[in-house]
Amino acid sequence: MNLGFALPAYAWLAALALPVVAFYLLKLKRERQEVPSLALWRQVLADQRVNSPFQRFRRHLSLWLALAVLAALALAAMQPWWRSGPAPADRLPVLVDVSASMGARAATAGPTRLDEARARVLALVERLGPGTSLCLVALGGQARRLTPFTDDRAELRRALDGLAVENAAADVAGACRLFGAIARGEPCRRALLVTDGNLPAQVDAELPMSLDIERVAPGGANLGITTLAARRTRDGRWEVLAQVEGSAQAERGGTLEIRRGDEVLGERAVAPGPLGAQRVAVTVAADAEQVLEVRLRPDGFDALAADDRACVALPRLRPLRAWVAPALATWRKAIAAQADVTLAEHDCDLVVADRAEDLRRGAAVRLGVGVVPEALTALVAVGDGGSTVVDRRLGEPLLAHVGLGDLVIAEKVAWQAGAGEAEAERRGFTVLVHGDRGPLLVAAQNGRSRDLYLLFHSDRSTLPWRLGFPLLAGNLVDLARRLRGLDEAAARRTGTLTVEGCPPGAELRLEGPEVAGATATADAEGVVTGLPAPVVGVYHLTGPDLRRDLGTGLLDRGETRLEPVDRLRLREVAVAADAAPAPAQALLWRWLALAALALLLFDWWWGNRRP
């Protein structure tokens, strides 16, 4: 603890005590009294001459009050401050959490977590000491700098008043990158994060300064929707799955309602319990595009309202369109035999070809049979001699349940001299099946589509006669369905949206709740990013030959569970969360000015009191 002065030069005001005393002495008035004799006063006058300086000051309270007022005003002009704890930074970035959980309440009419955080930071602003400036940053789905480093309390208050809860999880990694950019321009020793503690325990990011975490109390009991998805059933319908989870204090349940417009498709009672989860499923027809809304009605108090509603847009299911080269008769039969697949010539979802020029057709999945991609011709050679499967990539959906252990291959696929898997990966290819001399099946991700290359020709192997061949064809169809959105659909998280499958280079327009005419351009792969979706609801994306509905929800189990973390780990550094307010300098000049006013009032009362 220590005491300091912002303007010590004003200490000269204390010298005004000398003229105050002089004027007071000159102001003294003595009344004339007539006495019969001075004999009795001689001893009194002698004693008075010895003690007159002290007696005069002791008898006149108004002089002492005037000196006290002068001392208080002089100290106030010097702007004293009292600091407890470590010295504050000259520049302090203050990060205020505005993620969805900051909208939670501890009681029905109580303040939100953001209200509590705003009050904490406002107190820090009011105690802002001389030479210290703050930079306010909002932490939501993206970290946003609200103010430059400033000691202007009015500007800081306006920034705090403008804070609002965002329906997204906190992007701590983005905040670390922003702090890094701030520190490069204006060096800082430490930063402060004010949050409810509902953060990821591990963040793969570095912070170029020390971090203090001040934690407000978390919200109360909460239930919320954390999953809303649909998958295709065998009979060509949608099975809609919703999951409800509870916070650590969630003792009560609620009712989950699934609606299509005004029609109620299903209603279930749910009671996941503290930190539990419960799923509800309903099956709907898939013969038309539709939007489903799921509503949660908790029984009693619910801390967070943002996770009680979610929407999902379901497309009309249609057959998968596939094009298979006429020369690949076995592949053509295997794919045509799959359920809900039609062979087509144009606008295909799946292409299987044995010539490189046919693989230029647009599709979600393209499989080249006996084709070496141009990027690998310098790395891989195919000739006579035979190959044997020695390994496969575990967890690859294309190879699920497909046995390749004793596959006989008449062609030799081998790495060229000096080439290997590392070089293929640098060129964007992943080896899915390894042979004894080189790769047998490779894949490359091309935006939202996937290119596969079977480097040997299947007709020169025993693959078409194996039991696993129809399974391989079925996995290929499932992969194309999944990439085209014909196999499953899911509600998207609020915040910012990324949409695939748009016309490349198309100008797109987004309309929806709190969004009017946001525009974006699809990239060369047909992907558009950064579309704003601030609240739960249905958004409409339109463009040339495109209209798509996008259903959203909070859908974040971390935000719904309201679980605070005790410490945040950034790479190799762990930061503990503290509930105590950050230390700051307490300014004393206001109290001294009030004391001077109080002394003046007392002096006025003392001088005008009745004898």
C-alpha 267/C-alpha 281 separation (Å) is 10
Burial string for 237-249 (b: 16+ CB within 10 Å, else e) reads bbebbbbbbbbeb
Tell me, yes or no, if the pTM score tops 0.85: no
Tens-place pLDDT, residues 165-207? 999 999 998 998 888 888 888 888 888 999 998 888 888 888 8
**Are 469 and 330 a contacting pair, CB within 8 Å?**
yes
Tens-place pLDDT, residues 42-82? 655 555 554 455 454 445 666 666 667 667 666 666 556 55
- Residues whose CB falls within 8 Å of the CB of residue 538, separated by 6 or more in sequence, listed in order: 291, 311, 313, 512, 513, 549, 550, 551, 552
- Residues whose CB falls within 8 Å of the CB of residue 386, separated by 6 or more in sequence, listed in order: 408, 409, 410, 411, 412
Residue 576 has pLDDT above 80, yes or no: no
Which of 554, 580, 527, 529 lies closest to 194 in space, CA to CA?
A: 580
Domains contained in the chain, CATH given: 91-219+562-582 (3.40.50.410), 223-317+554-560 (2.60.40.10), 320-484 (3.40.50.880), 490-552 (2.60.40)
Sheet with strand 585-587: strands edge to edge: 2-5, 80-83, 585-587
> Residue 515, SS3?
strand
C-alpha 167/C-alpha 559 separation (Å) is 9
**Are 69 and 596 a contacting pair, CB within 8 Å?**
yes
- The per-residue pLDDT of the chain, averaged, comes to 84
- Report the residue count for the chain: 611
pLDDT value of residue 70 = 64
In angstroms, the first-to-last Cα distance of the chain is 47
pLDDT value of residue 1 = 46
> Residue 192, SS3?
strand
Half-sphere exposure of 220 (CA within 13 A, CB side): 15
Q: Is the dihedral of CA 446, 449, 454, 457 positive or negative?
A: negative
Q: Which is more confidently placed, 516 or 408? A: 408
Mean pLDDT lowest among 117-121, 207-211, 293-297, 518-522: 207-211
C-alpha 300/C-alpha 124 separation (Å) is 36
pLDDT value of residue 505 = 87
C-alpha 195/C-alpha 258 separation (Å) is 34
For residue 413, which phi and psi values (nearest 5 degrees)? -110, 115
* Both tokens assigned to 554: 């909070």
**Are 182 and 188 a contacting pair, CB within 8 Å?**
yes
- Most distant CA atoms of the chain, gap in Å: 149
